[in-house]
Structure 1
Amino acid sequence: MAKRLLVAYGLWALGGPLGLHHIYLGRDSHALLWMLTLGGFGGGWLWDFWHLPSWVATANGARVARAHGGTVPALSPLRLVGQVTVGVYFGLMAALGLPWVPALLAQPLAVGLGVQLVSSVGDQTSRAPNTLAAAFLTSLLFQGRVLAVLPTSLAATIAAQRHRGYKPPGMPRPRLAARLYHLGLACLAFAAPLACRGLYGAAGVLGTLMALPRAVTELLLTPIRAGWHLAELLGVTGGSSVCEGGTSFQASGWSERQLRAYEVLGLPVGSPAEDVHRSYRDLVKVWHPDHNRHRAEEAERRFIELHEAHEELAGPRR
């Protein structure tokens, strides 16, 4: 089916940064490059405006004169700059989206694929093994550091330029569904790691935001709590309320030994002497060492504590 220039311009205007006009004209490598870089970072999309007529003519079967009439394309400074730029871009995206993958694997692979993608735009191509080999060797020299993306991209670009050539003529074109399927897989492979990384970062931000109200509340209450503790230390509050086992009482007027004694006997503070004697007799029978030979150490300790508590509380309140 003949391609129409008006349709190509319409797709360029509506979805140019996503490469819709390139898909329409059968330029899948160019379309994928535009999808992953949003139209060559915007500038490439505008540049396409002047080239659409020739691309439509080529898609309709017009022959394009090859420079110098040979088998090796002429060196294109624009393509060379694009290879270096996209290689660096792919390398940085790999470092951002694949932090769990070793840098010596992810970085050169991403850089090499980016350079190779630019090399295959239009009717040109290059030898992918040579491009990837140059990327891996250069990355190995720089030990996979993030700053190595530039020299790695330069080395891969030089290798791609040295082995550039034309695509074989008369290659069969797959159906549109198959082409879209392959483009979708490529976009998914590029975007999925970045999406996972973004979701992980968003989850961390969400957790921080959820904890923010509590942190603000604690911060606002800090002066109040500090003032209350200071008042307690100065004796302004007249004693503090102490809770133990769900029972509240005024700590002023009772010594720590007496409070501990009531706790050992299992009695509320201020219990009468009769309750003290009764609780003491009952607990002594339970914890007498002669009745607890299987746990002699614990029984002896508890027996001594009961005896000391009884002596502390047996007399009148001090």
Structure 2
Amino acid sequence: MGQKRTLQHNNNNNCSSSTSSNGTSNICGSAAASGYESIVDSGSTAAPTKVKAHGHSKKYSEQNALPEKKSVVVAYILWLVGGIFGLHHLYLHRDRHAFLWWCSLGGYMGIGWFSEIFLIPEYVRDANEDPQFLKVFIAKLHAYPRPPYSSKRFMGQVMFGYLFGQLFSSAVPQTLTAGIDFSWMHWFIPIFVSLGVWTVGNIGRECGIWWPCYVGSLVAYLARFYIYDETYSLLLSALVSALIFDGFSKEWRRTPPRRRGATERTVKLGAAICIYFAVWGSVVVFNGSITDEDGGEMPIYEALQNFLASAWWTDLKQALHDTYIYGQHHGWYETWREVFESMDVDGERNAYKVLGVGATASQADITAAYRKLSKENHPDKVKDEALREAAHQRFIEIQQAYNVLSKIKSSRRRKNNKYNEDAAIKL
């Protein structure tokens, strides 16, 4: 039997009592506010114990249930095969961490991903709420009223604050779009800077509120009127926002993390990904450009408008509309069959065209056309070296067309013979 240790929360005197098989002692301080009402260490297993407060039994919510155990081996495999996209963080329910890794390809092109090679076991213990991990965490709560400074986390806040701010800045249309000046949207840049800082600050067992980050970022962003290089004004905004979070906002995450379901996690993460893609889409559409055949640059949104007004797009829309109407009247199976045949997947139609014969041509007609064209286009008959290569390609094309049609005709003959034999047997 292993030693059993229970840490209980006392609501009356802001203290916690620690009871073990060897005795009883009181623990006062920040651990009492941690929200970890019971930690049971019984050998290799752990189970929550019921706690009474003010004479009433507390009902355990979903967040107090023990999490599903995660595997270090699985986490390392996911880190190796999809770590730059945050796959291992998704497995460990570190959704914020996963999103940051996904949108920066592993923390600025894999730098953060590689630095985690020795941190995976600790991440797994955190996800499993391992009793030893929680003891160390509660010891930190006693030792530090607020989380101590971490250069790694601070640098991450500055980097992602700058990344998000720069991305949104690039998404604001730089010219008039549909006669509208969108330059006023630059005032939303501090929001994205502070969101980057706040997201990094809320990873793991630390947390903090958002609005102080935003206020710091907004005040620092006013330096853009004195620092005309946006690179430095964005960097200053991210730096001040991170300093405000580190000095005034951050605190310990004292309550056990709530176990969110797959649906809630998917909706929130999907919404963040959609916003990220929308910003990137604005970057490409409004501020991207392409080079035309004359060497000039054209904004992508103008090229898109021209494309939507082109005859090719008009014909495509009409073809899709006609296909939909045809499907409504003849059924979608027949429509798909017609579309599949028009795609000429087996190359039959193109082969008829190459040999110059019709679809009703017999095998004898196909062979005759093949022999005639082969003689006319044989490379040995072409004396000009410049034209011989083209004749060789034409000769190969004729051979391939003949092989395609011969194979199709042979396959159909076998099917017809088999059908006739089966019909004769039935008779």
TM-score under structure 1 length normalisation: 0.61
Tell me what 2:220 maps to: 138
- In structure 2, the CA distance between the partners of 1:113 and 1:169, relative to structure 1 (3 Å rule), is same
Are positions 1:17 and 2:84 aligned together? yes
- In structure 2, the CA distance between the partners of 1:155 and 1:212, relative to structure 1 (3 Å rule), is closer
Tell me what 2:11 maps to: none
- Measure the CA separation in 2 of the matches of 1:154 and 1:15: 30
1:199 CA displacement: 4.0
- Measure the CA separation in 2 of the matches of 1:95 and 1:71: 37
Q: Which amino acid aligns with 1:159?
A: I
1:194-225 C-alpha deviation (Å, 9 max, x unpaired)? 123324566x416x13x569xxxxxxxxxxxx
Q: Which amino acid aligns with 1:53?
A: P
Match 1:160 to one of 240, 245, 252: 245
Q: How does 1:1-318 map to 2 (within 5 A)?
A: 1-41=68-108, 42-62=110-130, 63-64=133-134, 65-66=136-137, 67=140, 69-99=143-173, 100=182, 102=184, 104-143=186-225, 146=230, 147-162=232-247, 163-200=249-286, 204-205=289-290, 208-209=292-293
1:223-277 C-alpha deviation (Å, 9 max, x unpaired)? xxxxxxxxxxxxxxxxxxxxxxxxxxxxxxxxxxxxxxxxxxxxxxxxxxxxxxx
1:161-195 C-alpha deviation (Å, 9 max, x unpaired)? 01211123223221122212211111211221212
CA contact (8 A) 1:108 1:136 kept: yes
CA contact (8 A) 1:104 1:139 kept: no
Q: Which amino acid aligns with 2:69?
A: A
CA contact (8 A) 2:164 2:196 kept: yes
1:23 aligned counterpart, secondary structure: helix
Q: Which amino acid aligns with 1:82?
A: G
1:27-74 C-alpha deviation (Å, 9 max, x unpaired)? 111111111211111111011111111111121121342336333111
Q: Which amino acid aligns with 1:52?
A: I
1:110 CA displacement: 1.1
- Structure showing greater radius of gyration is 1
1:78-117 C-alpha deviation (Å, 9 max, x unpaired)? 1111111111111111111233352542211111111111
- In structure 2, the CA distance between the partners of 1:103 and 1:151, relative to structure 1 (3 Å rule), is farther
- Measure the CA separation in 2 of the matches of 1:139 and 1:200: 23
1:7-29 C-alpha deviation (Å, 9 max, x unpaired)? 11111111111111111101111
2:99 aligned counterpart, secondary structure: helix
CA contact (8 A) 1:98 1:106 kept: no
- Measure the CA separation in 2 of the matches of 1:212 and 1:158: 47
1:148 CA displacement: 1.0
Q: Which moved further from structure 2: 189-198 or 21-30?
A: 189-198
- In structure 2, the CA distance between the partners of 1:130 and 1:212, relative to structure 1 (3 Å rule), is closer
Q: Which amino acid aligns with 1:198?
A: V
Equivalenced residues, count: 210
Hey, which of these two has a bigger chunk of helix by percent?
1
- Measure the CA separation in 2 of the matches of 1:141 and 1:51: 38
1:133 CA displacement: 0.8
2:251 aligned counterpart, secondary structure: strand
Tell me what 2:6 maps to: none
- In structure 2, the CA distance between the partners of 1:172 and 1:200, relative to structure 1 (3 Å rule), is same
CA contact (8 A) 2:171 2:287 kept: no
- Measure the CA separation in 2 of the matches of 1:212 and 1:171: 57
Structure 2 unaligned spans of 5+: 1-67, 174-181, 297-427
- In structure 2, the CA distance between the partners of 1:152 and 1:201, relative to structure 1 (3 Å rule), is closer
CA contact (8 A) 1:29 1:122 kept: no
1:127 CA displacement: 2.0
TM-score under structure 2 length normalisation: 0.46
2:116 aligned counterpart, secondary structure: helix
CA contact (8 A) 2:69 2:128 kept: yes
Q: Which moved further from structure 2: 38-47 or 59-68?
A: 59-68
